[in-house]
């Protein structure tokens, strides 16, 4: 279970990085406010998911 959660957290962190880079590249080039807002929402959701999984992992390691 610990290995699965670790891999899932890594995937979420990489996805967050990808969305963040897509947003930065989008702002450097053509600027579409709707796309920027959508990327920002996805980044927040992915970060929240990663943090929740990290908290679950920490609570599992304690017990």
pLDDT of residue 61: 87
State mean pLDDT over 51-63. 90
Each residue's pLDDT tens digit, 6-44: 899 999 999 999 999 998 888 888 778 888 889 899 999
pLDDT of residue 37: 87
The residue extents of the domains of the chain are 2-62
Asked whether the beta carbons of 39 and 23 are under 8 A apart, the reply is yes
> Quick one: CA dihedral 51, 14, 38, 21, positive or negative?
positive
pLDDT of residue 62: 87
Q: What is the pLDDT of residue 50?
A: 93
Q: Which long-range contacts (CB under 8 A, 24 or more apart) does 54-62 make?
A: 54/9, 56/5, 57/2, 57/5, 57/6, 57/9, 60/1, 60/2, 60/5, 61/2
pLDDT at 1: 79
């Amino acid at each position: 279970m610990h290995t699965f959660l670790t891999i899932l957290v890594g995937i979420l962190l990489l996805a967050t990085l990808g969305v963040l880079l897509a947003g930065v590249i989008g702002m450097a080039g053509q600027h579409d406010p709707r796309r920027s807002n959508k990327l920002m929402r996805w980044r927040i959701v992915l970060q929240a998911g990663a943090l929740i999984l990290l908290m679950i992992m920490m609570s599992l390691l304690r017990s």
